[in-house]
């Protein structure tokens, strides 16, 4: 019975329509987030606990292969760690670092963008030129630089406890510029509108105007960039870990697992590298599909298509 169904305005309903690919992408993202969150309860063993390693069963192939052990259905790595558990925990680490980096970058970028856009003048010049310089360096190079320096100055930086913090900082230092640019442009548009001018005439202080009046009106592009950047941040983390400056093998992320597996690929032990890699690809692809759709949805120039 459609009688009782609430009648959404036509535009609202159109916005809620999504293609099948996006629905699948969204479902995959939600599933992976849930699995990552619940890893300690789902995983058969704790891959971070060295006591659970069994060197006797190292390098076991997946369960569906002739020599496979049904207890390790994706096989084990060179330390005898259950690969399925390692991937679940690795995904958790990757998503946490990616999400953390996005959060830090977005907060930093939004604050700096608001300041630059609202005050203009030298505040704007300083913030945006620093951003330009940062963007002229490749993401990976900058991240390598930051984590390299951090490890040199601070010996603890490579440990499971501190590596995520360093990684988040190393990624966010590059990514905030994009948020700052977007927010700055949007802020300049909003600041010239009459409601902001009215707030200035009322005599409200700049901080109040920025937080209460401008911020809510510039946030929707930020949400879109954040989604798209989540995938990029996860990839950057994986790359850094693959290069050996990321998460340590004792607390592996997906990138670390791929790095470990990479050493064994040519000796026929392909599963250690391939399963984490496939997980990474699926995760990044799903997030990207959702992010692209969001971007198109919120792009006023593509409205009505």
Partner 1 sequence: MKSAALSITDLTVDYPLADGSVITAVSGVNLEVAPGEIHALVGESGAGKTTIGNALMGLLQAPGRVAKGRIEIGGKPVDIRTGRTEGIVQGKDVGAIFQDPMTSLNPLFTVESQLGETMRHHLGLSRAEARQRSLELLRAVGIPEPERRLKSYPHQLSGGQRQRVVIAAALCCDPKLIIADEPTTALDVSVQAQILKLIRGLADERGVGILLVTHNMGVVAEVADRVTIMLKGQVVESGPVAQVLGAPQHPYAKALIGAVPRVDVKLPRLPVPAQESPGTAAAREQVRARMGGGDEAKAGVLSVDNLVVEYGTRGGLFGGGSRVFRAVKGVSFTVEPGEIFGLVGESGCGKTTVANTIAGLAKPTSGSVTLGGLPIGAKQGGLARKVLQMVFQDPYSALNPRLRVATAIAEPIAFYHLAATKVEAAEDAALLLEAVGLDRAAGARFPHAFSGGQRQRIAIARALAPRPRFLVCDEPTSSLDVSVQAQILNLLKDLRDLAGLSILFISHDLAVVRQMCDRIAVMKSGEIVEQAPTEELFAAPSHPYTRELLSLVPSLDKIAREPAPLGGAVG
Contact footprint for partner 1 (CB under 8 A): 7, 10, 13, 193-195, 197-204, 208, 212-213, 216-217
Which CB sits closer to partner 1, 220 or 299?
A: 220
Please check whether residue 121 is in contact with residue 280, taking contact to mean a CB–CB distance below 8 angstroms. no
Give CA separation, 122 vs 178, 224, 254, in Å.
Answer: 20, 29, 43
DSSP 265: G
Which CB sits closer to partner 1, 173 or 199?
A: 199
Least separation in angstroms between CB 212 and partner 1:
8
Torsion of Cα atoms, 168 then 169 then 172 then 173, to 10°: -160
Which CB sits closer to partner 1, 29 or 191?
A: 191
Torsions phi, psi of 265, nearest 5? -55, -40
Torsions phi, psi of 110, nearest 5? -65, -45
Least separation in angstroms between CB 229 and partner 1:
24
Least separation in angstroms between CB 135 and partner 1:
20
Chain position carrying tokens 């990479």: 262
Least separation in angstroms between CB 197 and partner 1:
6
Q: How far apart are the first and last CA of the chain?
A: 30
Least separation in angstroms between CB 122 and partner 1:
12
Distance (Å, whole) CA 234 – CA 70: 31
Least separation in angstroms between CB 107 and partner 1:
20
Which CB sits closer to partner 1, 144 or 185?
A: 185
- Name the burial class of residue 63, with classes exposed (0-12), middle (13-18) and buried (19+) by CB atoms within 10 angstroms of its CB: middle
Please check whether residue 183 is in contact with residue 117, taking contact to mean a CB–CB distance below 8 angstroms. yes
């Amino acid at each position: 019975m459609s009688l009782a169904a609430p009648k959404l305005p036509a535009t609202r309903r159109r916005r809620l329509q999504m293609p099948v690919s996006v629905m699948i992408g969204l479902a995959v993202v939600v599933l992976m987030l849930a699995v990552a969150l619940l890893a300690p309860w789902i995983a058969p063993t704790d891959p971070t606990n060295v006591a659970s390693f069994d060197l006797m069963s190292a390098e076991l192939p997946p369960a569906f292969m002739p020599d496979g052990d049904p207890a390790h259905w994706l096989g084990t790595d060179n330390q005898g760690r259950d690969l399925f558990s390692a991937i679940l925990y690795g995904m958790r680490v990757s998503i946490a670092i990616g999400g953390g980096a996005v959060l830090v970058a977005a907060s930093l970028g939004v604050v700096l963008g608001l300041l630059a856009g609202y005050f203009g003048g030298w505040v704007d010049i300083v913030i945006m030129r620093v951003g330009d310089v940062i963007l002229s360096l490749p993401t990976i190079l900058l991240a390598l630089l930051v984590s390299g320096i951090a490890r040199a100055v601070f010996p603890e930086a490579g440990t499971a406890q501190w590596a995520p913090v360093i990684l988040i900082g190393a990624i966010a230092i590059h990514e905030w510029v994009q948020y700052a640019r977007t927010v700055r442009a949007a802020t300049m548009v909003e600041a010239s509108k009459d409601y902001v001018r009215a707030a200035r005439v009322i005599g409200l202080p700049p901080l109040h105007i920025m937080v209460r009046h401008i911020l809510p009106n510039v946030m929707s592009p930020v949400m879109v960039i954040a989604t798209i950047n989540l995938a990029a941040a996860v990839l950057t983390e994986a790359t850094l870990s693959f290069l050996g400056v990321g998460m340590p093998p004792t607390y592996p992320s997906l990138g670390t697992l791929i790095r470990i597996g990479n050493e064994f690929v040519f000796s026929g032990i392909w599963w250690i590298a391939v399963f984490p890699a496939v997980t990474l690809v699926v995760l990044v692809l799903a997030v990207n599909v959702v992010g692209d759709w969001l971007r198109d949805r919120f792009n006023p120039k593509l409205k009505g298509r």
